[in-house]
Amino acid sequence: MIPSPLHNVLQQTDASFLPYGAARAGYSTPALVAETFGEPQAEYAAIRKGCALIDLPHRAVIRVTGADRIDFLNRMVTAELRPAARPSKAAGVEQAPQPPLTAFHCRRSFWLNRKGRIDADLRLVELPDEMLIDTDVLVGSAAAASLTSFVFSEDVAFTDATQRMHRIALHGPQALELLGKVSQHVAGPHLAELQPDQAAIVAIAGRRIVVDRQDSTGEFGLELFVDAEHITDVFECLLDAGHDVAQRAGGRTGPNMHAKAFGLRLAGWAAYNTARIENGWPLFNIDFGTDSLPAETGVLTDRVSFTKGCYLGQEVVARMQALGHPKKQLVALRVATGTAAGAGAQPVTGSAVYPADEAGTTTPPPGQPIGAVTSSTRSPMLGDAPICFAQVKYEHTTPGTRLSLSTDGERTDAVVQPRLRFWPRG
Q: Would residue 410 count as lying in a domain?
A: yes
Q: Would residue 145 count as lying in a domain?
A: yes
Residue 410 reports pLDDT greater than 90: no
**pLDDT of res. 404:** 92
DSSP lists the bridge partners of residue 61 as 134
Domain limit, last residue, from 322, 345, 376? 322
CATH code assigned at 300: 3.30.70.1400
Residue 9 reports pLDDT greater than 70: yes
For residues 336 and 385, state if they share a domain: yes
* Cα–Cα distance for residue pair 67/339, rounded to 1 Å: 60
Q: Would residue 278 count as lying in a domain?
A: no
For residues 302 and 372, state if they share a domain: no
Each residue's pLDDT tens digit, 306-332: 988 899 999 999 998 888 889 999 999
Contact assessment for residue 161 and residue 226, using Cβ atoms and an 8 Å cutoff: no
Contact assessment for residue 133 and residue 120, using Cβ atoms and an 8 Å cutoff: no
pTM: 0.92
Domain limit, last residue, from 293, 322, 351? 322
For residues 317 and 336, state if they share a domain: no
Q: Would residue 45 count as lying in a domain?
A: no
Crossing angle of helices 175-182 and 231-242, in 10° steps, is 110
* Cα–Cα distance for residue pair 119/35, rounded to 1 Å: 26
φ, ψ for residue 420, nearest 5 deg: -70, -30
Question: DSSP alpha helices (H): ranges in 75-174?
Answer: 140-148
φ, ψ for residue 181, nearest 5 deg: -65, -35
pLDDT band at 362 (very low <50, low <70, confident <90, very high): very low
**pLDDT of res. 406:** 84
For residues 303 and 376, state if they share a domain: no
* Cα–Cα distance for residue pair 242/50, rounded to 1 Å: 10
What is the distance, to the nearest Å, from the Cα of residue 108 to the centroid of all Cα atoms in its chain? 11
For residues 315 and 335, state if they share a domain: no
Identify the helix (H) or strand (E) that includes residue 279.
none
Average pLDDT, the chain: 90
What torsion do the CA atoms of 256, 262, 268, 274 make, to the nearest 10 degrees? 130
Q: Nearest-5° angle of CA 86, CA 133, CA 91?
A: 25
Residue 19 reports pLDDT greater than 60: yes
* Cα–Cα distance for residue pair 261/243, rounded to 1 Å: 6
Q: Which amino acid is at 302?
A: D
Each residue's pLDDT tens digit, 155-198: 999 999 999 999 999 999 999 999 999 999 999 999 999 999 99
pLDDT band at 90 (very low <50, low <70, confident <90, very high): low
Domain limit, last residue, from 322, 350, 378? 322
CATH code assigned at 353: 2.40.30.110
**pLDDT of res. 83:** 81
Least confident range of 134-148, 284-298, 409-423 = 409-423
DSSP output for 292-333: --GGGSS-HHHH--SSS---TTHHHHHHHHHHSS-SEEEEEE
Q: Would residue 97 count as lying in a domain?
A: yes
Q: Would residue 95 count as lying in a domain?
A: yes
Between residues 84 and 318, the one the model is more confident about: 318
Least confident range of 60-69, 176-185, 242-251, 307-316 = 242-251
For residues 93 and 138, state if they share a domain: yes
For residues 383 and 408, state if they share a domain: yes
For residues 313 and 381, state if they share a domain: no
* Cα–Cα distance for residue pair 349/390, rounded to 1 Å: 9
Q: How far apart are the first and last CA of the chain?
A: 40
Domain containing residue 291: 61-154+284-322
- 10 Å Cβ neighbour count for 9? 18
Contact assessment for residue 332 and residue 347, using Cβ atoms and an 8 Å cutoff: no
What total number of domains does the chain contain? 2
- 10 Å Cβ neighbour count for 315? 12
Between residues 199 and 93, the one the model is more confident about: 199
Q: Would residue 73 count as lying in a domain?
A: yes
* Cα–Cα distance for residue pair 9/134, rounded to 1 Å: 24
DSSP output for 254-267: -TTSS-BTT-EEE-
DSSP lists the bridge partners of residue 36 as 16
Q: Would residue 389 count as lying in a domain?
A: yes
For residues 313 and 367, state if they share a domain: no
Residue 95 reports pLDDT greater than 60: yes
Contact assessment for residue 228 and residue 165, using Cβ atoms and an 8 Å cutoff: yes
For residues 70 and 146, state if they share a domain: yes
For residues 348 and 412, state if they share a domain: yes
For residues 308 and 370, state if they share a domain: no
Residue 253 reports pLDDT greater than 70: no
**pLDDT of res. 359:** 43
